[in-house]
Amino acid sequence: MKDPYKIKHPRVSTSRFILLMSVAVFVLLVIIAWYIGDIAIGVNMVFLGMLVLVVPYSVYKFFHLKRITAYENEFPNFLRDISENQRAGLSLIQSIQAASKSDYGSLSKEIKKINNQLSWNIPLERVLKSFVDRLSDSNTIVRAIMVIDQANKSGGNVEDTMESLANNIESIRDTQQEKAVLLNQQVLMMYAIFFIFLGITIALIKFLIPLLEAQTQTGGFGIQGFNPNPCSVCTESSDFECAGCKTFEAIGIAFDLGESNDTATYYKSLFLAMILVQGFFSGLIAGQIGSDSVTVGIKHSLIMLLSGFIIFIIIIRTGIV
């Protein structure tokens, strides 16, 4: 016989569905790029596929974590209201139902779900488990509900437990906010390091490449037969050892950085790849430092990637370097 109180949850979460769809679109774009055969179009489609792979999931996780943070900010008020209702003589279930009539911002929707389930005579233990399942990404709320459930089962003073939990949650929140203020300075340093790196690469293209090209005709810093373009030997080769050079060649063609066998094109493609790699991993580190989450770091990665790419391309296309 089926349990009438069994609460069903979707097998595939929203985040996993978005990730699977993004991966499917990315694979589709890569396959299309492969069949097209045009290097410029192919690289641009792969680049677009990477954005599709990263952006939707990152945006969802950003707003999801923001919503969880809003829940945690309102949760202590909910616990205090339950505690006051119990001190007024109401049972735990009655206290929750009475508290559900108050406004807790974005948390109100979840509290109303609890009230609806209790009004259907679903056992409190099952209702709390359902609440924990919906907010499983919040360790603070999950642990608090576990404590409340155990205190209720043991017959202890639940109202004092809730008051203590509310104070502890607010204390942890204040500590995290102070930590975030301090660590934001380190995040700004990561941005500063990235843009300094971007400036150095542009300066190298501006001053180093002309110097290397000038040395080609004079023996190259005293070295006879000096070649400033190490990928020139791979122009007509398809060996595996030339895979890196072919990658830089594809980048140069895709973003119209110059002739494929030109020394300047090689260094522009090399530095552009370095900027993108630097921006991506600097953003991840910034997210881990500032929010203790690599997922949040993807937001910083996108900002650095897009800003670095746009600045680099504009400077190249305008002829500044």
> pLDDT tier at 278 (50, 70, 90 boundaries)?
very high
State which of 156, 174, 192 marks the end of a domain: 174
- Assign 217 to helix, strand or coil: coil
Q: Do 267 and 215 fall within a single domain?
A: yes
Cα–Cα dist 220/71, whole Å: 65
Of residues 225 and 245, more confidence is placed in 245
Is 193 a residue whose pLDDT tops 90? yes
pLDDT, one tens digit per residue, over 70-107 is: 999 999 999 999 999 888 888 888 999 999 889 998 89
**Confidence at residue 263, expressed as pLDDT on a 0 to 100 scale:** 81
Query: Across residues 257-263, what is the average pLDDT?
Result: 80
Is 1 a residue whose pLDDT tops 50? no
Total structural domains within the chain: 2
Q: Distance from CA of residue 225 to its chain's centroid?
A: 48
Of residues 35 and 212, more confidence is placed in 35
Is 3 a residue whose pLDDT tops 70? no
Q: What sign does the dihedral 97-5-128-130 (CA atoms) show?
A: negative
State which of 150, 174, 198 marks the end of a domain: 174
Q: Do 210 and 105 fall within a single domain?
A: no
pTM above 0.85, yes or no: no
DSSP result, 212-238 = HHHHHTTTTTT-TT--S-TTGGGSS--
What is the average pLDDT score of the chain? 83
Q: Do 246 and 128 fall within a single domain?
A: no
Residues 6+ apart with CB under 8 A from 100: 111, 112, 114, 115
**Confidence at residue 271, expressed as pLDDT on a 0 to 100 scale:** 93
Q: Do 310 and 205 fall within a single domain?
A: yes
Cα–Cα dist 235/124, whole Å: 71
Q: Do 170 and 185 fall within a single domain?
A: no
For residue 212, being part of any structural domain is answered with: yes
For residue 244, being part of any structural domain is answered with: yes
> pLDDT tier at 224 (50, 70, 90 boundaries)?
low
| Domain coverage including residue 168 | 75-174
Q: Do 163 and 186 fall within a single domain?
A: no
For residue 69, being part of any structural domain is answered with: no
Cα–Cα dist 157/151, whole Å: 7
**Confidence at residue 220, expressed as pLDDT on a 0 to 100 scale:** 53
pLDDT, one tens digit per residue, over 22-79 is: 889 989 988 888 888 777 677 778 888 888 888 888 888 888 888 888 999 999 999 9
Is 226 a residue whose pLDDT tops 80? no
Residue type, 6: K
